[in-house]
Amino acid sequence: MPAGTYIVESQATGEVDPRERTDFWSEHVGSYQTPMDFRYADPGTFRGEMTRQGTDTYQLVDWRCDRIEYVRTPRLVRQEPDHDYRFLLPLRGELVLRQDDQEARLTPGMGSLMTLGAPFQLLHDASLRGFIFSIPAREIDGPLNRKSPLATGLDLTTGLGRVVNSMLQSLSAERNNLTTTEFDAVSDRIVELLCMLAVGDDRPDASGHLLEVEAMVRRHVREHAADPGLTGTSMARALGWSLRQIQLALQRVGTTPRDLIREERLRLVRDRLRCHDCEHMTITDLAHASGFSSASALSTAFKQRYGVSPREMRHGAR
């Protein structure tokens, strides 16, 4: 989809001839997700519907359909590389995900983060309704400091998991009342929380104190990203912790104070580039107002992060 656009659209097999329903479903799901093989339990009576909302960065699909198996084979992985991620969350029924010699059986209240860069099988029964949240590889590989998060169930019924669950359902419910900037901003926070949830689940010995430090540091960076004097040392002084504590807390999730500050500043610039109220600001103005030393420093970091220059993103958002 064009850069900077937010779309909401629905598709249903009831709109086409029964003989064409499986082809219709395969075509649309394949274009929204990734090339896969589709194995229908009963092609002659298949029914399905989906509502998709998203931008060029994130996508959330609310779907329900009859029994089906989706398969991404080793051949498809080689021929059609795709390193992005999906977060699966059933709202009704059961999903079975098989990947990396593991099997996750997901029911409402459980979710799994999976990679499209490895073969998988995804099966569900006829009563399924669920969410598929699409996440670019760069949003996962950096924070988690690994390429393939385990395809195991994450508890979304309590604590941080319940917050993630609620945010995804709210994002879906308010689909028609969101702008591009709002959708991406909420999605950014969901991914940040998902990474914390996945890392916490993978580290049963993680110190509760360091998790608290990490959360407070992230909040502080978000609130003060535009301050050109923001550093790991200034954060430590403001929050009352040692720089070493902050470094250890962020190291556990694969980042550093410097990288976290840069990431939040880039997100701030991206949101302002898409904001009509900021159209009067030059790229140099945006750089200085977002904590960067110069327009060239911003442009270099921005293109490395998002694949386009600030100017290109601004023009694409119009």
Number of domains in the chain: 2
For residue 13, give its domain range. 7-194
Q: Are residues 185 and 217 located together in one domain of the fold?
A: no
Question: Which of 138, 170, 194 is at the close of a domain?
Answer: 194
Nearby residues of 206 by Cβ (< 8 Å), 6 or more positions away:
199, 200, 252
Residue 27 lies in a domain: yes
Backbone angles phi, psi at 230, to 5 degrees: -70, 125
Rounded Cα distance, 300 and 283, in Å: 12
Q: Please report the pLDDT score of residue 143 as a whole number.
A: 59
Residue 292 lies in a domain: yes
Q: Are residues 21 and 163 located together in one domain of the fold?
A: yes
Q: Please report the pLDDT score of residue 137 as a whole number.
A: 85
Q: Please report the pLDDT score of residue 197 as a whole number.
A: 80
Question: Which of 194, 219, 253 is at the close of a domain?
Answer: 194
Q: Are residues 131 and 181 located together in one domain of the fold?
A: yes
Task: Write out residues in the chain with pLDDT < 50, as ranges.
Answer: 1-3, 148-149, 151, 202-206
Q: Over the stretch 71-87, which tens digit does the pLDDT of each residue have? A: 999 999 999 999 899 99
Among 53, 74, 253, 62, CA closest to 149: 253
Q: Are residues 275 and 187 located together in one domain of the fold?
A: no
Rounded Cα distance, 87 and 102, in Å: 16
Residue 248 lies in a domain: yes
Q: What is the CATH number of the domain that holds 282?
A: 1.10.10.60
Give the Cα-Cα-Cα angle 163, 166, 170 (nearest 5 degrees).
140
